[in-house]
A and B are shown apart, each in its own frame.
Chain A
Amino acid sequence: MTVWTPSDDGYADLSSHGTFAQGAPHNTFARLRRDDPLSWTDWDGGAGFWSVTRHEDIVKLNGNFELMSSARGIRMEDQSYEEYLARRTFQETDPPEHMKTRVKVAKAFSKPVIAEFEDQIRELCDDILDPALEMGTLDATKEIARQLPMRMLGRILGTPDEDLPWLVEKGDALIANTDPDFTDHVLDKMETDAFRMMPFNSPAGAELYQYAKELMEHKTAQGDTDGILNMILQPGRDGNVISETEFRNFFCLLVAAGNDTTRYSIAAGIQALAHQPELLSQLQTGDHWDTAPDEIIRWATPALYFRRTATRDFEMHGKTVREGDKVLLWFSSANRDDAVFDDPFRVDPARTPNKHLSFGQGGPHVCLGMWLARLEVRVLFEELVKRIRKVEPAGPHQFLRSNFVGGIKSLPVTVTPA
């Protein structure tokens, strides 16, 4: 049994969300890396785009923000300047402007600050795993993977527990806005014009804006100092305080970016346990906790690509990219590039070095939440493998219908307790 075998014919349409409903089209990525590493796709939903698929090229371009701007959108969809201004977060700015906001929030997400959460995460894992595993046969995405990041989000934001399902629903609607399971406003299927000025093209964005505003007012009024968000509201060493718009944008970004990505990393790890039987005993040795989380996150690659826009004409692989062209950096492809990874379709918990690009490594936007994501993944799998003797598939798993977020949205498994 292999852990997962790609099934596309090597010529999948990368602009189609439906393509990814069977998992990422890795035969297509392999062909592109080999024969057409800078490849053009026409798209009927907007301007066409370039795809970059080799690890080496992605690292080079992602580090070059002067050529590859984030300030004209970071997803495949086109947006006008007005839309961009209405919706942007610091993720959609370039250095040096990007840095002004990022330094205000970086400390709160630094490795030492995040490390303080380990005990809390472990307690949450106890609460989640004990009842879930008792079910015997369960949807591991729903009962396990979805639970931990959602509850941690509450700790970070300092929001009441009863608000969490609502927040997560809105966050999913923002980011999985091409899968009908998660939103009423499927981006490529419906008229979304009315929502163009809202964060992420979605009414959920407007609702989250309102929630963030009220939360901030409430916290200020109460002198409440719970949660990481309060660190961000404190004046920096230069005395500058984050603006209200910056705060609300950041709030939406956290709800959207920190939740489903971690969820789908955990789901992919459980899928790997179910399909690659030796993995469980490898993890149970306890020898691989320094390296296994990154390998699970490589295997998952929840952010399939991020987009940049060319700021001037340039040549690459014998082709000319024009100023204003959209360029998609396919982290999903880079993470299976056999020029960098031996046996890329095997989950090797001891893999060292592991130069995966799941967090957008190599560029100024490298994931702000990477230390939190790694810690959540490590602690969850430490606690999970302790408790079980076996995980087996209990039916086919289903991928999200999205070319942007890669994830297993339902994962039926049967677990045998230790």
Chain B
Amino acid sequence: MKATWILPDGQEITAEFADGLNMMEAAVANNVPGVIGECGGNLSCATCHVYVDAAWADKTGTPDEFEDAMLDVAEAPHEDTSRLSCQIKAGAALDGIVLRVPQV
């Protein structure tokens, strides 16, 4: 599948990667700056925070209770479409998804 990350300066990174990764792993594999993933996708670090583009927000679902609490721990503000990207599984339904990397 394919995804696009929009960096804080407006630059875009589009990459192709295998289904089954999560969106943090996909970002790290494609050197997207600002998505770090220090806990390896285990919901402990909040360094994989992204804003899901409004057009995609209902397709990614909403954060569960722990993710929601951990979004308060992230460096950038917790907005309506905030997600910890390690909790979003890549897959056909999200092919073409657009994610914004927060300004920190």
Contacts and interface: CB of A to CB of B under 8 A. Distances in A.
B45 A366 contact: yes
Contacts of B46: 106, 110
Chain B interface helix/strand/loop/mixed: loop
Contacts, number: 57
A63 B74 contact: no
Contacts of B72: 107, 110
Interface string B34-67: 0000111111111000000000000000000110
A237 interface: yes
B27 to A, nearest CB: 13
B38 A359 contact: yes
A102 B44 contact: yes
A112 B69 contact: no
B75 A236 contact: no
B73 interface: yes
Nearest to B44: A364
Nearest to B39: A366
Given A99-B66, A103-B69, A110 B74 contact: yes
Contact of A366 (B38, B66, B73): B38
Contacts of B74: 110
Nearest to A371: B75
A362 B73 contact: no
A366 B70 CA distance: 14
A359 B38 CA distance: 9
B65 to A, nearest CB: 7
Given A99-B66, A238-B65, A106 B42 contact: no
A95 interface: yes
27 contacts: A62-B40, A63-B42, A95-B42, A95-B43, A99-B43, A99-B66, A102-B44, A103-B66, A103-B70, A106-B69, A106-B70, A107-B73, A110-B46, A110-B74, A110-B75, A236-B69, A237-B69, A361-B38, A361-B39, A361-B40, A362-B40, A364-B40, A364-B42, A364-B44, A366-B40, A366-B44, A366-B45
